[in-house]
Amino acid sequence: MSDTQPAGYFAGEGSGVLVLHAWWGLNDTIRAACDRLAAQGFAAFAPDLYGGSVTDQIAEAATLAAALDERADHARAVVLAAAAFLQARTRTPQAGLAVMGFSLGAAYALDLSARAPERVHSVVTFYGTGGADFGRAKAEYLCHYAEQDEYEPPDNAAWLKDTLHAAGRPATFHHYPGTGHWFMEPDRTQASHATAAALAWERTLAFLRRPVSTKGTPS
């Protein structure tokens, strides 16, 4: 086990939750999510996929995200290294990890569950989708989506739901009325939705706390 922590933010102890940031970068919202998980008895680690870059501007975020996608193999390697780091520091490393992804991070969370099925037992996505060979996955999925989302329209979520279920993966999808993209992020003042965010977080904690073997069936 390496003692070197990858670039990122670590908090707490207990079962591991890998937190993958949105296209803004590793900002205070993602650090706060890690702190909230730590307060609930989890060990949370959010790797820095951008190497230190953070923005609150959409145009700059889109540029950073595009550059990351151009180096997708490198990004996947960073995510995998972060998962290995976190898993080695949980109370029960043999049990694997949960992975939580926000928007851009959701795509990498989904990808990790397929590429490293032995590491990932649960995936939580917030308004993000992504394709992968889920036939190899062993995870169970909880997916939160906005009602009106120009970045992830309903057809995207429907496609992901059908794809996961076709692969035999347990997956539960929730759609939140009156919300748009970033409804979980309080710093996005024009998009955040406190009521929906509270409900989504409550559902997420319940999902993360359930025994892996009993996390339900496709719905």
Look over the chain and give the mean of its residue pLDDT values, rounded to a whole number. Answer: 93
Q: Is the pLDDT of residue 82 over 70?
A: yes
Domain boundaries, given as residue ranges, for the chain = 8-214
Looking at residue 213, what is its pLDDT? 55
Superfamily of domain 8-214: Alpha/Beta hydrolase fold, catalytic domain (3.40.50.1820)
pLDDT in tens, 120-133: 999 999 999 998 99
Separation of alpha carbons 79 and 71, rounded Å: 13
pLDDT in tens, 98-111: 999 999 999 999 99
- Hunting for tokens 């995998």 — which residue is that? 80
What 8-state DSSP symbol labels residue 43? E
Tell me which amino acid residue 198 is: A
User: 31-67 burial string, b = 16+ CB within 10 Å, else e?
Assistant: bebbebbbebebbbbbbbbbeebbbeeeeebeebbee
Separation of alpha carbons 5 and 67, rounded Å: 24
